[in-house]
Amino acid sequence: MNTPGQFFDEMRDGAQARTPYSDYEAWFAQQNTDRLARKSQEAEAFFRRTGITFNVYGASDAEERLIPFDLVPRILSSREWTKLSRGIDQRVCAINAFLNDIYNRQEILRAGIIPVDLISRNEAFLPQMMDFSPPGEVYTHIVGTDIVRTGENDFYVLEDNARTPSGVSYMLENRETMLQMFPELFSRIRVQRVSDYPKNLRRSLESSAPASCNGRPCVVVLTPGIHNSAYFEHSFLADQMGVELVEGHDLRVVDGHIAMRTTKGYKVIDVIYRRVDDEFLDPLTFNPTSMLGVPGIMDVYRAGNITIANAPGTGVADDKAIYSYMPDIIEFYTGEKAILKNVQTFRCSEPGALRYVLDNLADLVVKEVHGSGGYGMLVGPAASRKELADFADKLRARPGNYIAQPTLSLSTCPIFTGADLAPRHVDLRPFALVSPSGVNITPGGLTRVALTEGSLVVNSSQGGGTKDTWVLED
């Protein structure tokens, strides 16, 4: 689908390496490709031994899969990172203010900036959170912002992940793998660290503890269990933070607090980093058949005796229809123009937009407003006539369930093919930690790469891979 030369190449500017890659290219030119191929195989063996796998929902086989790892890093200069981190900081602060507003005063709705029915009819909006603010007024303790690049200075936010963003374990393991395989590279090139993330995560969660907390806050990670696609990450982060990994049946309400079962009885906990969806969090409040959550936890939460990270109801902020209003949301709450651009977005719920999308379906990317992981989407330029016709029927049947965007010319970064380098499309998911004391953004993030030539779909569930992301020191 077009030649790679039509896209911004992050490593090369014509025949020359771009400045952030100059030292790496000089190193790569001295390498034996057979050695690099062996290193690539070593990395795969390491991931398999460590258990860095994921499950694909709906797959015909139950086998856990590896996310392919590419050994060529994606490199950003400190100047490029400064712009990105400023934009991410601005965006996550605006998202948090937006959530606090729509669950309390709803000033942005009264001002007519966002249509009321976009909130009231939104399946991610939880009336149970109305007139309540979580400890420290922090809703989104962990945010993953998906960013794509189309030019030297052109960065776009593709979507916001404000519910339970995943992938940070791969960011950390990718770096650890690169350090083990190529220690000489890190002596030669000064790269900012990502290894402080678990320590910073625990510190951020502890500082978000409720006022009822006595002494050092007790933090746990709540997982749905071993069959969840991201279970490796849940156990990895609990281990790295030095906190307990628990399931719903390990917790119960004791004297108005949430407590976990231990060999010495039940121990009160203060902060739950939950990786369980809202619907399954409390069977007394949401889905009565849920076996994954804790009966009564929402009552304890609203009483101010537990912090849930991220807060229930945050999913309304990463709804893709709400995303289209993010420039207005940022300006409403910060008084500033958005530093990072939004991708032009057509809301199919609007008749005029729907007509345009149906007329131009072959040129657009269409996504479900609550979709994730690359599921339920259509990449128009890569679709067959039948796929286009079938998707048009879906749009007519449920237009409010979809948004559409133009097909961006995503930047490329090189991957190692076993013999040489070849450009492939990438995106970036940096991770921001939000607490009452401020925002902490890890320098870099998870770079996802479409390993198939010409493909724009980077999700691991759709065959994408990952690579280490380097932010250079000044």
**Would you list the domain boundaries of the chain?**
344-407
Q: Give the count of alpha carbons within 13 A of 354, CB side only.
A: 16
Instruction: Give the lowest-confidence range in 3-17, 56-70, 185-199, 316-330.
Output: 56-70
CATH of domain 344-407: 3.30.1490.270
Is the pLDDT assigned to residue 463 strictly greater than 90?
no
What pLDDT sits at residue 119? 95
Task: Provide the pLDDT confidence category of residue 54 given band limits of 50, 70 and 90.
Answer: low
The 10s digit of each residue's pLDDT in 174-225 is: 999 999 999 999 999 999 999 999 999 999 999 999 999 989 999 999 999 9
pLDDT in tens, 221-280: 999 999 888 898 999 999 999 999 999 999 999 999 999 999 999 999 999 999 999 999
The predicted pLDDT at position 51 comes to: 66
The pLDDT of 424-447, averaged and rounded, is 96
pLDDT of residue 48: 78
Q: Confidence band (pLDDT; 50, 70, 90) for 108? A: very high
| Per-residue pLDDT tens over the stretch 147-157 | 999 999 999 99
Dist CA 55 CA 224 (whole Å): 14
- Strands, E assignment, 122-206: 142-151, 154-161
Task: Please name which of 44, 243, 25 lies closest in space to residue 234, comparing C-alpha atoms.
Answer: 243
**Contact in structure between 282 and 186 (CB atoms under 8 Å):** no
Counting residues of the chain whose pLDDT is more than 90, the rounded percentage is 80
Q: Is residue 65 very low, low, confident or very high in pLDDT (cuts 50, 70, 90)?
A: low
At 319-373, the pLDDT tens digits run 888 999 999 999 999 999 999 999 999 999 999 999 999 999 999 999 988 766 5
The span from the CA of 388 to the CA of 385, in Å, is 5
Q: Note the pLDDT of residue 53.
A: 58
Buried/exposed 21-41: b ≥16 CB within 10 Å, e otherwise:
bebbbeebeeeeeeebeebbe
310: cis peptide before it, omega within 30°?
yes
Q: At what angle do helices 385-397 and 351-359 cross, to 10 degrees?
A: 170
What is residue 60's predicted lDDT score, i.e. its pLDDT? 47
Q: What is the mean pLDDT of the chain?
A: 92
Q: What is the CA radius of gyration of the chain?
A: 22
More confident residue, 61 or 10: 10
What confidence tens digit (pLDDT) does each residue in 20-31 have? 999 999 999 999
Mean of pLDDT values over 3-27:
87
Q: What is the mean pLDDT of residues 68-86?
A: 96
- pLDDT band of residue 418 (cuts 50, 70, 90) is confident
Mean pLDDT value of segment 159-188: 93
Least confident of 51-65, 142-156, 356-370, 385-399: 51-65
